[in-house]
């Protein structure tokens, strides 16, 4: 498919608490060069404010979490009769910094039929910096270097709908944390590639992920679920053991550590969804890309 013929959609998830930022984001999407980007805004357990004309909306009666809400947004394209070839997932307090972002996404997918997911660079609009945690690789000191990677940033990315049809969507049950890596591992296991592109920029305020009250518990629980669902059995204890060591080395506050340990225990005691361990050749591929699945 040519870049010109590649149809893009955007899914924006909101809790209704940032109406000004949401409108600014939608305006930045509407200003993109090329064919208009079809947009779906999902109110995750909240009514939506008045939005620009042409914006498709879905209001959920309850908060389904980040992966569940984004999956509903993807499904809205099919039920609305407007099929798209790739979907942008964008945080509601973000802003597309360039008008050619959509065209660059189309060109990247058209040039490489095996490219399944593109991760954008997140930039703080005040300082102009990119936090290390927003570069989805271990060697994160140079955020301006684009590269093939093994995961992506969930609120600043583009995903081919063919990937979602083949391997399934984001894991609803995760609610928050590690849902991107779960999808990334399944996509890589199916033969797709993932690329971090420094020229695709989403402006987003620099905020710590620990601002979420459930952060420490869900990070630990979902880490266990991620391993149980996706890793070959011999790698499960290696992966989780590595993360126990890293967590203790970071010396979290006592309350945070208690929440983390509670989540870790919950990850073993509760259903994690279907187990589909990746192939060993995928393990080797992840290793060649610089992130073996024990880190």
pTM for the complete prediction?
A: 0.95
pLDDT of the residue at 82: 76
Please tell me which residue, 54 or 166, carries the higher pLDDT value. 166
Q: How far, CA to CA in Å, does 251 sit from each of 13, 211, 235, 248, 256? A: 33, 18, 25, 5, 10
Stretch 102-114: mean pLDDT: 98
Would you state the structure tokens that stand for residue 65, as one six-digit string?
Answer: 């979490």
Residues of the chain above pLDDT 90, percent: 93
Stretch 1-25: mean pLDDT: 92
Stretch 44-59: mean pLDDT: 94
Q: Range(s) for CATH 3.90.550.60 in the chain?
A: 3-207
pLDDT per residue as tens digits for the range 181-216: 999 999 999 999 999 999 999 999 987 775 556 899
pLDDT per residue as tens digits for the range 140-149: 999 999 999 9
Q: Which of 199, 185, 22 is nearest to 107 (CA)?
A: 199
Task: Please state which architecture CATH assigns to domain 3-207.
Answer: Alpha-Beta Complex (3.90)
Is the pLDDT at 5 greater than 90, yes or no? Answer: no
Give the Cα separation of 197 and 50 in Å (integer): 33
pLDDT of the residue at 208: 73
CB 92 within 8 A of CB 204: no
Is the pLDDT at 45 greater than 70, yes or no? Answer: yes
Mean pLDDT (the chain) is 95
pLDDT per residue as tens digits for the range 53-96: 989 999 999 999 999 999 999 999 976 667 899 999 999 999 99
Is the pLDDT at 130 greater than 60, yes or no? Answer: yes
pLDDT per residue as tens digits for the range 232-259: 999 999 999 999 999 999 999 999 999 9
Stretch 226-232: mean pLDDT: 98
Instruction: Calculate the dihedral angle through the C-alpha atoms of 72, 165, 293, 276, rounding to the nearest 10 degrees.
Output: 100
Give the Cα separation of 84 and 9 in Å (integer): 6
């Amino acid at each position: 498919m040519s870049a010109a013929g590649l149809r893009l959609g955007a899914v924006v998830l909101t809790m209704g608490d940032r109406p000004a930022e949401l409108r600014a984001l939608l305006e930045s999407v509407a200003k993109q060069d090329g064919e208009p980007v079809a947009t779906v805004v999902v109110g995750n357990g909240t009514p939506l404010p008045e939005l620009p004309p042409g914006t498709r909306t879905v209001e959920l009666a309850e908060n389904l979490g980040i992966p569940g809400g984004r999956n509903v947004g993807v499904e809205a394209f099919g039920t609305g009769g407007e099929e798209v070839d790739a979907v942008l997932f964008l945080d509601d307090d973000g802003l597309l910094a360039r008008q050619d972002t959509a065209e660059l996404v189309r060109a990247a997918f058209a040039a490489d039929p095996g490219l399944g997911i593109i991760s954008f660079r997140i930039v703080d609009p005040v300082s102009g910096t990119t936090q290390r945690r927003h570069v989805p690789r271990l060697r994160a000191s140079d955020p301006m270097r684009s590269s093939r990677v093994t995961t992506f940033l969930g609120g600043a990315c583009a995903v081919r709908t063919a990937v979602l049809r083949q391997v399934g969507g984001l894991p609803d049950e995760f609610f928050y944390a590690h849902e991107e890596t779960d999808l990334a591992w399944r996509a890589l296991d199916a033969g797709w590639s993932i690329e971090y592109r420094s020229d695709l920029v989403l402006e987003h305020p620099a905020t710590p992920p620990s601002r979420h009250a459930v952060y420490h518990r869900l990070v630990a629980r979902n880490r266990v679920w991620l391993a149980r669902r996706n890793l070959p059995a011999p790698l499960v204890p290696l992966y989780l053991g590595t993360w126990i060591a890293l967590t203790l080395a970071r010396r979290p506050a006592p309350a945070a550590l208690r929440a983390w340990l509670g989540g870790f225990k919950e990850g073993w005691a509760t259903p994690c969804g279907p187990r589909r361990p990746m192939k060993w050749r995928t393990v080797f591929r992840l290793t060649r890309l610089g992130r073996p699945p024990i880190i």
